[in-house]
Structure 1
Amino acid sequence: MITHDVVVVGGGPVGVLAAALLAARGLDVAVWERRAEAPSLSRAIGVHPPSLDVLDRVGAAEPLVAEAVPVRRGVARSGGRTLGTVDFDRAHPRWPFVAALQQHRTEQLLRDRLEALAPGSLRRGVSLDTLEQEPDRVLLRGTADDGPVEAAARFVLAADGARSPVRGALGIDAPLRRYPDRYVMCDVADDTGLGADAVVHLERRGVVESFPLPGGVRRFVVLLDDDAARTSDGTRPTEAVPDPEMIARLVAERTGIEVDPGTATMTSAFGVQRRLARRTVAGRVVLIGDAAHEISPIGGQGMNLGWLDADAVAPVIARALRSAGGRRLDPTVFRAYEEARRRSVGRSARQAEINMALGRPVGPAVGVARQVGLSAALHLPTRRLLASLYSMRFV
């Protein structure tokens, strides 16, 4: 049985970047990914400046920025007028923007870098069956199309998503909180004239967000209110792929922007929930990304948080492996890492909840008060703080 320095369970964007960061440090890594094919759905699109720093460590930042749309400004609108702007020009000395790129392209760029750093390390179509911790290693057994798979590792990183089989196997509790908010989103041809700005419409019936993407595409994200139509087959939009026509109608009704649903290249619907693991380290196994913390996607922090987990844990694992080849494990070695990440995730989760609250339907009086308050915040020096918050400078 081959013993690797690290086995990463989960070959999504977080797991692949984690493996690339470890490989760049000269470690022997393997990645087990359950899905046989690379996903084509692009949910996450925003890559924040701190994440670009992390991607730069494995040579992925510049290729990504070359393809992405640099979003240098966010615009808040309500009731047909502009409340103010958030400029990212001071968010980072090298990356004064949020890079917007479809997730499937981001993942492909990361896989390319992993293959260059550790050829053949990503293995698709492998499902984890059991995980057993021994004093000096972790034994993993799985199933692939061609039969059973076994491996051993000094450490395991679990990047296997919000429902994390690894977390379940370890018996780690992750309380789930569901929110009533339901969203639909659609990528369409961008004829809005909004350029490279991200625009948030805080309307009485609910928020409409839009973001530029490469190829003359714009993503619209719409909060559904109680009057939102059901889909053509009678199901609610979070239970089926929503109609582009329905999304286009909601965008037009709330913002006055007309979009062509016939140009839609992607539609999706999602609810919102928060799931925070009570602990993220169990012996030689560390949970990262959604396996450790699932927060609201509003604000675009989720994938970036997972990348920051990977960046923080990589040097800790490298140091542990330098000590007697990783055979002896100091139980306190991950303590500082875990505490720091818990604080960061807590801040991000609170920020995501504030973002959701600001976008919910309101009555006339509250709507006016919201406009006045936001307009003031966006014209005072506080707008610099908002730029830092929304670019994840403090995470």
Structure 2
Amino acid sequence: MPADVVIVGGGPVGLYLAASLLQEGVSVRVLEQRTERSPHSRAIGIHPPALAALSQVQVAAAMVHEGVSIRTGKAVSGGRTVGTMSFAGVSEDFPFVLALPQSRTEQLLEERVRTLSAHAIVRGVRVTGVTDDGETAAVAVEPVAGAGTRREEVEGSIVVAADGARSHLRTALGVPVRAKEYPDHYLMGDFADAGQYGRMAVLFLEPEGIVESFPLPGGVRRWVVRLSRPPEDANAGQLAGLVMRRTGVLPDLQSNTMVSAFSVRSTLARRLVSGRVVLIGDAAHEISPIGGQGMNLGWLDAQALSPLIQSALAGGPVDLQLKKFEADRQRAAVIARRQSEVNMMLGRPLPAPFLKLRNLAIGAAASAPAINLWTARRFTMQ
């Protein structure tokens, strides 16, 4: 089953690239290890530049219709509002951050891909290696347990690795990475939304560490608590108790639908282009989920790569453009990582005197329209 482009990884980034190429007449194979989409959702925030990219593959309108448009963020400490941030000026078309569960985002993208090509997505296959003879590239695939497919090679003019932070393809290529560990750990979960904050995102800047709260579709609100060490037993009761202790708000324990813990690290690949193989998304740069950088950054990678692939397939010289693509996307990843580090720093525990100073600084910045707008644009990846 050869194709013009083989995309390894059928997550949101790989599916976006597939849709972008298919609607331009490029044949695509998306190889995905999972036999079914995951029902669990971690990434929820979609920023204006990514929404503009998603509109190019005709899925942004459906996402906005189903998601929650967060137009304002509020910082709270000790029960008092420290400052507010409006996203009204960050984009003419999308003046908000959209909250939509990743599971639904993937479903909408997959539906778009299947509309363009019923056979583009191949599930239940694991990529075990890659070869590149300078003219074509091929990936070796084998079935996952019970998938019922045979071992084979899938050839393409170009191979794109969008197979996540622990990319098997990146490892097979021998691409070195720069990894960084952080002293930040988080526990998060979804509960029924009591409605006291409407469609607003709320950051509780408390002495024990930040608590973040975001509205989701269907009357759900996500709560995220910063911890100094990984939790021994991540469960909804522990999360609800921590939220109550720090904020005075007690999520409805019986309404919990998801709980998850994660620790923070970043990984930057030292090169994104290896012959006819290109890394994008988390395979190229793993960025902390705080601030919603990772998934959005991957979509912008794919948006920049798509026209280069089309040009290469048409026989155009793209070596210089690919070098620029690599440099630009690596630079964007560094900027995103710095923003993520700032977001994490603001959420770390502080003694009362330093917490007061930080809150005063945040309040002063929020009250200055120019600084408020600049901060909002940085937060939304612009």
Q: Give the corresponding residue for 1:230.
A: none
Q: Is the 8 A contact 2:76 2:203 kept in 1?
A: yes
Give the unaligned 5+ runs of structure 1: 227-235
| TM-score of the superposed pair, with normalisation by structure 2 | 0.96
Query: For the residues of structure 1 that align with 2:318 and 2:173, how far apart are their CA atoms?
Result: 19
Q: Provide, for residues 74-113 of structure 1, a one-character-per-residue CA deviation record: whole Å limited to 9, x for no partner.
A: 1111121111111111111111111101110110000000
Verify: 1:211 aligned to 2:210, yes or no: no
Deviation at 1:124, TM superposition (A): 0.3
CA contact (8 A) 2:203 2:211 kept: yes
- For 2:289 and 2:100, the matched residues in 1 are separated by 16
Give, in whole Å, the separation in 1 of the partners of 2:364 and 2:285.
33
Q: Which secondary structure state, in structure 1, belongs to the residue aligned with residue 205 of structure 2? A: strand
Equivalences for residues 203-242 of structure 1 within 5 A: 203-225=206-228, 237=231, 242=234
Aligned to 1:45: 44
Per the alignment, residue 352 of structure 1 pairs with 340
Residue 349 (structure 2) pairs with residue 390 (structure 1)? no
The CA distance in 2 between the partners of 1:334 and 1:142, in whole Å, is 27
Distance, in Å, in 2 between the alignment partners of 1:287 and 1:135 is 17
Match for residue 273 of structure 2?
A: 281
Cα deviations across residues 50-76 of structure 1 (Å, max 9, x unaligned)?
Answer: 111111111100111110011001111
User: 1:245 offset after TM fit, Å?
Assistant: 1.1
**One-letter identity of the residue aligned with 1:200:** L
Question: How far, CA to CA, are the matches of 1:105 and 1:197 in structure 2?
Answer: 21
**After the TM superposition, which residues 369-384 of structure 1 pair with which residues of structure 2 at under 5 Å, given as runs?**
369-380=357-368, 381-384=370-373
**2:320 aligned counterpart, secondary structure:** coil
Q: What is the match of residue 232 of structure 1? A: none
**Distance in 1 separating the partners of 2:189 and 2:178:** 30
User: Is the 1:11–1:32 Cα contact (8 Å) retained in structure 2?
Assistant: yes
Q: 2:286 aligned with 1:294, yes or no?
A: yes
SS at match of 1:191: coil
Q: Secondary structure at the match of 1:376?
A: helix
1:192 shift after superposition? 4.4
Q: Distance in 2 between matches of 1:225 and 1:322?
A: 52
Residue of structure 1 equivalent to 2:155: 152
Instruction: Select 1:307's aligned residue among 284, 293, 299.
Output: 299
Is the Cα–Cα contact under 8 Å of residues 283 and 331 in structure 1 kept in the other structure?
A: no
Structure 1 distance, partners of 2:321, 2:372, is 39
Output one character per residue of 1:6-49: Cα deviation in whole Å (capped at 9) or x when no partner: 00000011111111111122101100001111111100001111
Instruction: Give 3-state SS (helix, strand or coil) of 1:135's partner.
Output: coil
- The residue that corresponds to 2:138 in the other structure is 139
Match for residue 121 of structure 1? 120
> For 2:235 and 2:75, how far apart are their aligned partners in 1?
26
User: Which 4+ residue blocks in structure 1 deviate beyond 4 angstroms?
Assistant: none
AA of the residue aligned to 1:364? A
* Alpha-carbon offset, residue 333 of structure 1: 3.8
Contact 1:6 1:154 survives alignment (8 Å): yes
Question: Structure 2 matches for 1:308-347, cutoff 5 A?
Answer: 308-323=300-315, 331-347=319-335
Q: Is the 8 A contact 1:320 1:333 kept in 2?
A: no
The percentage of aligned residue pairs carrying the same residue is 46
Aligned length: 377
Q: Distance between the aligned counterparts of 1:129 and 1:243, measured in 2?
A: 35
Maintained 8 Å contact 2:192/2:219: yes
2:108 aligned partner: 109
The amino acid that maps onto 2:265 is Q
- Distance in 1, matches of 2:96 and 2:361, equals 25
2:178 is aligned, of 153, 175, 180, to: 175
> Following the alignment from structure 1 to structure 2, what is the Cα–Cα distance between the partners of residues 117 and 164?
27
Alpha-carbon contact 1:60-1:109 (below 8 Å) kept? yes
Q: Which amino acid aligns with 1:153?
A: G
**Secondary structure class of the residue paired with 1:36:** coil
Structure 2 unpaired stretches of 5+:
none
CA distance in 1, matches of 2:267, 2:149: 35
Which amino acid in structure 1 is aligned with residue 132 of structure 2? Q
Matched position secondary structure for 2:263:
strand
| Secondary structure at 1:154 match in 2 | strand
**What CA deviation, in whole Å up to 9, does each residue of 1:342-381 have, x standing for no partner?**
1111111000000001100011111111011110011112
Alignment correspondent of 1:264: 256
Q: 5 Å matches for 1:32-111?
A: 32-111=31-110
| 1:105-143 deviation digits (Å, cap 9, x = unpaired) | 110000000111122100100111221001210022211
Question: What secondary structure sits across from 1:176 in the alignment?
Answer: strand
Q: Deviations over 1:295-349 (max 9, x none)?
A: 111101110000000000001111111117xxxx754340111111111111110
Q: Which moved more, 1:82-91 or 1:269-278?
A: 82-91
Render the CA deviation track for 1:171-192: whole Å, top value 9, x for unaligned. 1001221112110001000114
1-structure distance, mates of 2:320, 2:176:
21
Matched position secondary structure for 1:332: helix
2:190 is paired with a residue whose SS is: strand
CA distance, structure 2, for counterparts of residue 243 and residue 141 of structure 1:
39
SS of the equivalent of 1:298 reads coil
Aligned-residue RMSD, C-alpha? 1.3
With 76-85 and 347-356 compared, the bigger mean Cα shift is at 76-85
Matches within 5 A, 1:4-19: 4-19=3-18
- Do the aligned partners of 2:183 and 2:228 also contact (CA within 8 Å) in 1? no
Aligned mates of 2:246, 2:197 — CA distance in 1: 16
